[in-house]
Amino acid sequence: MSSVTGRQNPDSPARRINVIEGSFNVSRHDGDLLCTVLGSCVAVCLYDTLARLGGMNHFLLAEPSVSDPQDARSLERFGAFAMEQLINEMIKNGARRETMRAHIYGGGMLRPGMERIGTANRTFARSFLEQDRIAISHEDVGGNTARRVEFRAASGQARCRQIPMNAANVPNPVKQRSSPVGDVELF
């Protein structure tokens, strides 16, 4: 899933655009704020300083396994697809790899056993950007917190807030009382 927004009217209102898992967005509109929430997922924000164009993707897993379906809809959640989509859309709208700068966010471990996923995601993002010769100007990755990322696409400014995962944030399940069945009474 993707979206590309251009500079419509200078007086047009600011927009908050949520970039969900498996999607990306590219914009040069001054008022656009690209937003996402991450755990073990990774978001890469790209900004071209000359084109004043930015974008964000959000991917769930680094690479598909051999048993994963290979159709476009299934591939949206993987890093290679997400990175290609974002970079190609940026270039299509006037950006150049040489003038792009990247921020990497996420790749945390929110639950025991999930460390491998977050680590693989952030390692993949770094490697992909290095191979494409896109400079990484900022990272906020790893740890055991979720992150809320807000990225002003036209200026390349980003804010990342860590959201601690503690017992207060996790609702306790309520057990339903079972109603009696039959007519047996126990003492």
**Is residue 5 over pLDDT 70?**
no
Residue 108 lies in a domain: yes
The residues near 152 (Cβ < 8 Å, ≥ 6 apart) are: 32, 33, 34, 54, 158
Give the chain's domain count: 1
pLDDT digits (tens, 9 = 90+) for 42-55: 999 999 999 999 99
Q: How confident is the model at residue 7 (pLDDT cuts 50, 70, 90)?
A: very low
Residue 74 lies in a domain: yes
Residue 178 lies in a domain: no
pTM above 0.95, yes or no: no
| Among candidate residues 38, 35, 1, 40, the one with its CA nearest the CA of residue 19 | 35
Dihedral sign, Cα of residue 104, residue 112, residue 75, residue 77: negative
Q: Domain residues for 125?
A: 16-165
CATH number at residue 140: 3.30.1330.200
pLDDT digits (tens, 9 = 90+) for 86-142: 999 999 999 999 999 999 999 998 887 766 889 999 999 999 999 999 999 999 999
Measure the CA–CA gap between 182 and 184, rounded to whole angstroms.
6
